[in-house]
Amino acid sequence: MRYSGFRVFAQGLTGNRGWRPAWRKPAPRDAYDVVIIGGGGHGLATAWYLAKNHGITNVAVLEKGYLGSGNIGRNTTIVRANYFLPGNSEFYSHSLKLWEGLERALNYNVMHSRRGLINLFHSDAQRDAFARRGNAMLAQGDDAVLLNRADVRRMLPYLDFEQARFPIHGGLYHPRGGTARHDAVAWGYARAADRRGVDLIENCEVTGIDVENGRVTGVQTSRGPIRARQVALVAAGRSSQVAAMAGMRLPIESHVLQAFVTEGLKPVIDHVISFGMGHFYISQSDKGGLVFGGDLDFHASYGARGNLPMAEHVMEAGMTLMPMIGRARVLRSWGGIMDMSPDGSPIIDRTHIDGLFVNCGWNYGGFKAVPASGWCLAHLVATGQPHPVAARFRLDRFATGHLLDEEGTGSQHNLH
């Protein structure tokens, strides 16, 4: 069923009785050409681009919970292309372009909003670093504007400009940055992949990966064995556990990241704002809730819920930056399991096992990467060649030393 304004109107006239489920609930078949482990944003996007770009539709996405139950439905929804290093820069630029045509391509309203992202800076050194980053973004063909203090004050008058512990010197404005509704992204890709014949199998946990003579032959699941010629491991925070089923050890640590949302308020924050001196970023959802987050809890964990010290830190950082939010009531907080790589950049590569691919290491930035990640992994699986914009996301870079340390913080997973 195609969605359109006319369809909404016609359904409204007939009591909304004609809507059909957005995707089927098929039973797993015995064999597929490609099995994707993980029904998050990256797994679903990979399935859709395999079908759409390469005509490969004999595909199953196996999800141990329900579609969208992982990080794809837990993030703070920020979409941006403001990376500095060659390797990351062209990849996220490609992703942003895909975001901009995504709703039309999927025939689904993912509520992508180019409301602009402002990264604040609070010192001369930070300004210089952001000026360099802005130039790199412009050189990549994306947009960036260096704002001075007066510009920021005009655009964000509710920040504390008088008594702030860390005075605001200016900001790096990325007008095409913004947000998208995270669940809708999962649902949109799921529906589009299903329409092209991909089987989306929920409540199906992969418990083993079958390898014979150095080649993957299928997977064991909670719903029985499934044969496959190719298997893509796209399990985000659980990547290390799933890779261990094939006897592999990935350079990934799993850490909790928390997010928070307040009660619905009238529109007050028009942009996405990121604090330069504390761990705090914020935007306002279309429902009115202030959506904000901070840094990792700083210890490795598979618990999808956070701890109070980081919650306190995030609240303090928010109050330091914009005291007005002190009156808003927090409705919910939650955590997600982040797949942190040693250099803060992702991995999209084949493995030493024939037919087994890995896509992980998204750190806290994998939501905006969803379109390009799916596009590039589908390209790799279908053609056997890395896509040019993801060519540096190699698994062996930690052995060869060709790291992509965007933050310049060294090889410590929790610092990226």
Ligand X SMILES: Cc1cc2nc3c(=O)[nH]c(=O)nc-3n(C[C@H](O)[C@H](O)[C@H](O)COP(=O)(O)OP(=O)(O)OC[C@H]3O[C@@H](n4cnc5c(N)ncnc54)[C@H](O)[C@@H]3O)c2cc1C
B/e letters for 252-268, b = 16+ CB within 10 Å, e = fewer, are: bbbbbbbbbbbeebeee
Shortest distance, CB of residue 143 to ligand X, whole angstroms?
18
- Which residues inside 281-300 make contact with ligand X, applying CB under 6 A? 293
Q: What is the DSSP string of 5-25?
A: HHHHHHHHHTTT-----SS--
Shortest distance, CB of residue 251 to ligand X, whole angstroms?
16
Which spans in 113-252 are helix H?
A: 124-139, 149-155, 182-195, 239-244
Shortest distance, CB of residue 60 to ligand X, whole angstroms?
11
> Considering only 146-154, 157-165, 311-319, 358-366, which stretch makes contact with ligand X by CB under 6 A?
358-366
- Which residues inside 194-233 make contact with ligand X, applying CB under 6 A? 205-206
Shortest distance, CB of residue 80 to ligand X, whole angstroms?
7
Residue with tokens 């493995």, as numbered in its chain: 351
Residue type, 271: H
Q: From the list 59, 71, 361, 404, which residue makes contact with ligand X (rule: CB under 6 A)?
A: 71
Shortest distance, CB of residue 124 to ligand X, whole angstroms?
28
Per the structure block, which two tokens stand in for 114?
């180019």
Shortest distance, CB of residue 145 to ligand X, whole angstroms?
21
CB 389 within 8 A of CB 97: no
Cα 353–Cα 357–Cα 360 angle in degrees, nearest 5: 130
CA distance 234 to 45: 11
390 φψ region: left (φ > 0), alpha (ψ -120 to 50), beta (else) = alpha
CA distance 18 to 293: 39
- Tell me the residue number closest to ligand X, measured at CB: 40
Of 68 and 355, the one with the shorter C-beta distance to ligand X is 68
Of 165 and 332, the one with the shorter C-beta distance to ligand X is 332
- Which residues inside 19-48 make contact with ligand X, applying CB under 6 A? 37-43
Of 165 and 305, the one with the shorter C-beta distance to ligand X is 305
- DSSP 3-state assignment of 377? helix
CB 190 within 8 A of CB 39: yes
- Which residues inside 318-357 make contact with ligand X, applying CB under 6 A? 336, 338
Binding mask 226-265 for ligand X (x = CB under 6 A): --------xxxxx---x--------------xxx------
Q: CB 37: neighbour CB atoms within 10 A?
A: 29
- Residue count at the site for ligand X (CB under 6 A)? 40
Q: From the list 365, 371, 374, 386, which residue makes contact with ligand X (rule: CB under 6 A)?
A: 365
CB 321 within 8 A of CB 160: yes
Shortest distance, CB of residue 311 to ligand X, whole angstroms?
12
Q: CB 162: neighbour CB atoms within 10 A?
A: 7
> Considering only 66-74, 94-102, 122-130, 403-411, which stretch makes contact with ligand X by CB under 6 A?
66-74
Q: By CB under 6 A, name the binding residues for ligand X.
A: 37-43, 62-65, 69-72, 74-78, 205-206, 234-238, 242, 257-259, 293, 336, 338, 362, 364-368
